[in-house]
Amino acid sequence: MFAVYADKFSSDDPLAGLVVGERPEPDAPEGWTTVTVKAASLNHHDLWSLRGVGLREEALPMILGCDAAGHDEEGNEVVVHAVISDPSWQGDETFDPRRSLLSERHQGTFADKVVVPRGNLVPKPASLSFEEAACLPTAWLTAYRMLFTQGDLKAGDTVLVQGAGGGVATALITLARAAGLRVLATSRDEAKRSRALEIGAHEVFESGARLPVKVDAVMETVGRATWSHSIRSLRPGGAIVISGTTSGPNVDDAELTRIFFLQLRVIGSTMGTRTELASLVNLLDATGARPLVDRVLPMTDAREGFEAMASGDVFGKIVFTR
Ligand SMILES: NC(=O)c1ccc[n+]([C@@H]2O[C@H](COP(=O)([O-])OP(=O)(O)OC[C@H]3O[C@@H](n4cnc5c(N)ncnc54)[C@H](OP(=O)(O)O)[C@@H]3O)[C@@H](O)[C@H]2O)c1
């Protein structure tokens, strides 16, 4: 079958190991099912995989892609939950130490077909297109859990979203606005700041700019480049929720004094549960809020999408269709 996969790693030139070609059809083990992929979306995770982060050499060749929407074996329209937990695991699957994401241990979604545990399918409402639904399982689910589960934010709270252009960041802005929060966002880029206003930010600022108010929570995915500003933007008792470190994990100043003196909370967040994915789908269905799609490409042109993400030339999600 057609597939987009990694056949080697390169930390300097991740696209060197990207192959657009053919892989064998998958067999669904007991308890798993086959989904025919209609649309899949690109995440920074796919670039990390090509750099050899989170993926072992022995697992190569590995079909990339965590996110997909398509048809199940009965022809129902479904969204695929990307977190694969151990069959014996009970409860919140993001706490399962043996969990993995599609394309880490099990073949990913950039292909004609993907096999997943039966319990990982969530019905796709007719109101969402396959392209929109394919944006949800990683970036949008991560944003949902950051805001509402880990951040415990409520309508009327004020939130700062760092790095407005990213896939997770655009999801954070749209979801926060749909849920009645006051939304501040930063970006290094003037055009991205304007677009952030269009998708729901109340106010936008240059990266690192002093804010007019202290916020209840900061949603952090940039890491080193914005960490200090995130900590300095919080009200006493506020929370920073972190799910990524695009600019690097080693900060110049961890702002430890400020963290204890202002009694700030630093909260990690990773992906989300199948239940949260179903709630996210319901939220979009009910509010009319939709994922911002930067561009839709046929999966055969996947390299173009990877190049755009690697160069940072993205606002919203890149979607591949079959
Ligand atoms: N823990 C999880 O479950 C989980 C799930 C999804 C993603 N993630 C992680 O979250 C991060 C974001 O993912 P994504 O898919 O949204 O990636 P992305 O679309 O590539 O987002 C990157 C954004 O980060 C900002 N940025 C990058 N370098 C920067 C710098 N030096 N200074 C300031 N801002 C910078 C940019 O914002 P501006 O250009 O607007 O300034 C850019 O738009 C990644 O590290 C990813 O691995 C984690």
* Domain final residue pick, 245, 268, 291: 268
42 CB within 6 A, ligand 1: no
**pTM for this prediction:** 0.95
CA 315 to chain centre: 13
Query: Same domain for 15 and 134?
Result: yes
User: Looking at the domain assignment, is residue 143 inside a domain?
Assistant: no
Pocket test for ligand 1, best of 140, 162, 221 (most atoms within 8 A of CB): 221
Give 224's DSSP letter.
T
Query: Same domain for 254 and 289?
Result: no
Residues 6+ apart with CB under 8 A from 210: none
Query: Same domain for 17 and 38?
Result: yes
230 CB within 6 A, ligand 1: no
Residue 245's Cβ-count burial label (10 Å; 0-12, 13-18, 19+) is middle
User: Looking at the domain assignment, is residue 144 inside a domain?
Assistant: no
Query: Same domain for 19 and 131?
Result: yes
pLDDT of residue 120: 97
Query: Same domain for 195 and 238?
Result: yes
The CA–CA distances, whole Å, from 82 to 93, 142, 272, 274, 278 equal: 11, 11, 9, 9, 13
Q: What is the CATH number of the domain that holds 71?
A: 3.90.180.10
Q: Which residue has the tokens 């961890």?
A: 254
User: Looking at the domain assignment, is residue 145 inside a domain?
Assistant: no
Query: Same domain for 7 and 131?
Result: yes
Domain residues for 254? Answer: 152-268
- Name the domain count of the chain: 2
Nearest protein Cα to ligand 1, atom 23: 166
228 CB within 6 A, ligand 1: no
| E strand or H helix that includes residue 279 | helix 274-287
* DSSP secondary structure, 108-126, as one string: -SSBSEEEEEGGGEEEPPT
Pocket test for ligand 1, best of 222, 229, 250, 309 (most atoms within 8 A of CB): 222
**Using CA atoms in the order 300, 306, 311, 315, what is the torsion angle rounded to 10 degrees?**
90
Query: Same domain for 193 and 114?
Result: no
| E strand or H helix that includes residue 47 | helix 44-51
277 CB within 6 A, ligand 1: no
Query: Same domain for 203 and 232?
Result: yes
Nearest protein Cα to ligand 1, atom 32: 225
What is the rounded CA–CA span in Å between residue 158 and residue 156?
7
Q: What is the CATH number of the domain that holds 171?
A: 3.40.50.720
pLDDT of residue 106: 97
Query: Same domain for 307 and 186?
Result: no
* DSSP secondary structure, 87-153, as one string: TT--S-GGG-TT-EETTTSS--SSBSEEEEEGGGEEEPPTTS-HHHHTTIIIIIHHHHIIIIIIS--
Structure tokens at 276: 């949260």
User: Looking at the domain assignment, is residue 51 inside a domain?
Assistant: yes
Give 26's DSSP letter.
P
Query: What pLDDT tens digit does each residue of the chain (322 aa) get?
Result: 999 999 999 999 999 999 999 999 999 999 999 999 999 999 999 999 999 999 999 999 999 999 999 999 999 999 999 999 999 999 999 999 999 999 999 999 999 999 999 999 999 999 999 999 999 999 999 999 999 999 999 999 999 999 998 889 999 999 999 999 999 999 999 999 999 999 999 999 999 999 999 999 999 999 999 999 999 999 999 999 999 999 999 999 999 999 999 999 999 999 999 999 999 999 999 999 999 999 999 999 999 999 999 998 888 899 999 9
User: Looking at the domain assignment, is residue 58 inside a domain?
Assistant: yes
Pocket test for ligand 1, best of 42, 44, 53 (most atoms within 8 A of CB): 44
User: Looking at the domain assignment, is residue 189 inside a domain?
Assistant: yes
CA dihedral sign of residues 113, 114, 120, 126: negative
Beta bridge mates, 21: 3
pLDDT of residue 296: 98
User: Looking at the domain assignment, is residue 183 inside a domain?
Assistant: yes
pLDDT of residue 314: 85
Query: Same domain for 97 and 111?
Result: yes
Q: For residue 221, how far is its CA from the centre of ligand 1 (angstroms)?
A: 5
| E strand or H helix that includes residue 183 | strand 182-187
What is the rounded CA–CA span in Å between residue 310 and residue 174?
23
User: Looking at the domain assignment, is residue 18 inside a domain?
Assistant: yes
Phi and psi at 267, nearest 5°, equal -125, 125
Phi and psi at 238, nearest 5°, equal -70, 175
Residue 31's Cβ-count burial label (10 Å; 0-12, 13-18, 19+) is exposed
pLDDT of residue 35: 98
pLDDT of residue 88: 93
Query: Same domain for 93 and 207?
Result: no
Query: Same domain for 129 and 278?
Result: yes
Measured from the CA of 245, which atom of ligand 1 is nearest? 45
